[in-house]
């Protein structure tokens, strides 16, 4: 009888220890469930984590603004309302000036896979950026990156002259400066306001990823899409961690999170490109016009890119107060160029291949005490 009681006690103790070992945590992303940063970056990510950890890591994912307002995700991380969160740095420019200064380079880049890799490597290794994450109370564990933004317009855009006087929704001061240079009117509103602005006529054009033709039904209010590249966006972490939560994980659990980031970064980009293509075909099927950028608009973008690279150091130094701005920005530019070359002969449509490349070149090289 005593033996039976002892065995029951051991079984219960084992169960209790197992239940205690499992990490049940909250994760937040501000987009709806269909957006790639949500679907592949959080919902599929959570399933992948649970699978590779054998059920030890279980995320309760909150989407949209059900739990946290869009500009409150970093504060929610600090306060431990959630343990993992997506946070666009553009919502907290005074707290994340370095991340916002780096985003000013976005107008110059159009390789989405190279961007997501370069941003991750830079953000987890550059001492200036690392100090900012630490001061902000989060641990950075991987990037997001949009595809190159294009223009959705209410009227045809057949030449540079057609942009004159147009009210254009932009994201980032560099793009806004280009719009001003071509005598357009830059309008700074959130992406959630594009549809209503185009519908009411308070916007003539808006810049965002092609997938929004379908995901946000922009085809209904902007029948003309111009494939002029106006930047890739990435500011802030796709996965920011509460510092105490990260410190409380064991080495194996942290390794699982790293693997989930590498897998999900690849999954985001591969599927983002697919959804862009599908949305363009969808819009064409609805009778929308999708055209390449007119030659004079493309020439204007190319010329402005060269100018903005020269001006970005002063912008980082004066607007964002980033010390050693040239050294810091050059570190990012060099990291991006390295990844462009590294990816040149790789199958960037393979999630598994990209995940392995990210693990080998980024996450496996992090120090054992990363984020501690």
Do residues 240 and 357 make contact, with C-beta atoms less than 8 angstroms apart? no
CATH class of residue range 24-145+233-277+321-365: alpha beta
What is the β-pairing status of strands 205-208 and 167-169?
A: parallel
pLDDT at 271: 97
Mean pLDDT score, 343-353: 98
Give the dihedral sign, CA 182/186/191/197: negative
Adjacency order of strands within the sheet including 23-29: 57-63, 23-29, 84-85, 240-242, 138-140
- Strand blocks (E) in 110-215: 138-140, 150-153, 167-169, 185-187, 205-208
Residues 74 and 292: their CA atoms lie apart, in Å, by 38
For the chain, the residue count is: 372
pLDDT at 310: 84
Give the dihedral sign, CA 151/157/160/163: negative
Task: Decide if 24-145+233-277+321-365 and 150-232+281-307 have a common fold.
Answer: yes
Do residues 118 and 280 make contact, with C-beta atoms less than 8 angstroms apart? no
Residues 305 and 46: their CA atoms lie apart, in Å, by 38
Place of tokens 């970005």: 312
Do residues 78 and 137 make contact, with C-beta atoms less than 8 angstroms apart? yes
Instruction: Label residue 18 by pLDDT band (50, 70, 90).
Output: very low
Residues 371 and 240: their CA atoms lie apart, in Å, by 11
- What is the residue-averaged pLDDT of the chain? 92
Instruction: Label residue 11 by pLDDT band (50, 70, 90).
Output: very low
Do residues 120 and 234 make contact, with C-beta atoms less than 8 angstroms apart? no
pLDDT at 340: 98
pLDDT of 161 above 90: yes
CATH of domain 150-232+281-307: 3.40.190.10
pLDDT at 15: 34
Q: For residue range 170-220, list pLDDT tens digits in order.
A: 977 788 999 999 999 999 888 889 999 999 999 999 999 999 999 999 999
Q: What percent of the chain has pLDDT over 70?
A: 94
Q: What percent of the chain has pLDDT over 90?
A: 86
pLDDT at 121: 98
pLDDT at 152: 98
Residues 146 and 150: their CA atoms lie apart, in Å, by 11
Q: Where are the domains of the chain?
A: 24-145+233-277+321-365, 150-232+281-307
pLDDT of 110 above 80: yes
Instruction: Label residue 141 by pLDDT band (50, 70, 90).
Output: very high
Q: Both ends of the chain: CA-CA distance in Å?
A: 49
Pure H helices in 125-203? 127-136, 173-181, 194-200
How buried is 9 (Cβ within 10 angstroms: 0-12 exposed, 13-18 middle, 19+ buried)? exposed
């Amino acid at each position: 009888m005593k033996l039976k009681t002892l065995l029951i006690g051991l079984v219960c103790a084992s169960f209790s220890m197992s239940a205690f070992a499992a990490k049940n945590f909250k994760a937040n992303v501000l987009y709806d469930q269909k957006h790639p940063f949500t679907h592949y970056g959080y919902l599929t990510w959570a399933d992948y984590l649970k699978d590779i950890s054998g059920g030890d890591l279980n995320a309760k994912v909150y989407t949209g603004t059900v739990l946290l307002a869009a500009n409150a995700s970093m504060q929610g991380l600090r306060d431990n309302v959630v343990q993992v969160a997506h946070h666009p740095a553009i919502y907290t420019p005074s707290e994340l000036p370095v991340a916002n200064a780096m985003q000013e380079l976005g107008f110059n880049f159009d390789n989405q896979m190279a961007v997501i890799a370069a941003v991750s490597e830079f953000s987890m290794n550059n001492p200036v950026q690392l100090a900012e994450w630490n001061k902000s109370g989060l641990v950075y564990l991987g990037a997001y990156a949009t595809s190159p933004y294009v223009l959705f317009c209410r009227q045809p855009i057949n030449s540079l002259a057609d942009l004159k006087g147009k009210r254009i929704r932009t994201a980032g001061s560099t793009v806004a400066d280009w719009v001003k240079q071509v005598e357009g009117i830059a309008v700074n509103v959130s992406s959630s306001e594009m549809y209503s602005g185009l519908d009411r006529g308070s916007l003539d054009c808006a810049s965002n990823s092609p997938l929004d033709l379908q995901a946000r039904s922009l085809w209904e209010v902007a029948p003309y899409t111009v494939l002029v590249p106006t930047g890739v966006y990435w500011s802030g972490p796709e996965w920011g961690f509460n510092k105490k939560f990260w410190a409380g994980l064991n080495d194996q659990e942290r390794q699982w999170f790293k693997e989930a980031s590498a897998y999900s970064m690849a999954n985001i980009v591969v599927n983002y490109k697919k959804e862009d293509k599908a949305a363009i075909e969808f819009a064409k099927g609805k009778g929308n016009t999708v055209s390449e950028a007119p030659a004079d608009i493309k020439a204007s973008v190319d010329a402005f890119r060269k100018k903005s690279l020269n001006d970005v150091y002063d912008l980082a130094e004066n607007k964002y107060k980033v010390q050693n701005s040239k050294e810091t920005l050059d570190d990012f530019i060099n990291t991006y160029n390295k990844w462009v070359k590294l990816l040149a002969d790789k199958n960037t449509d393979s999630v598994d291949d990209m995940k392995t490349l990210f693990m080998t070149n980024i996450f496996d090289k992090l120090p054992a005490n990363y984020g501690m």
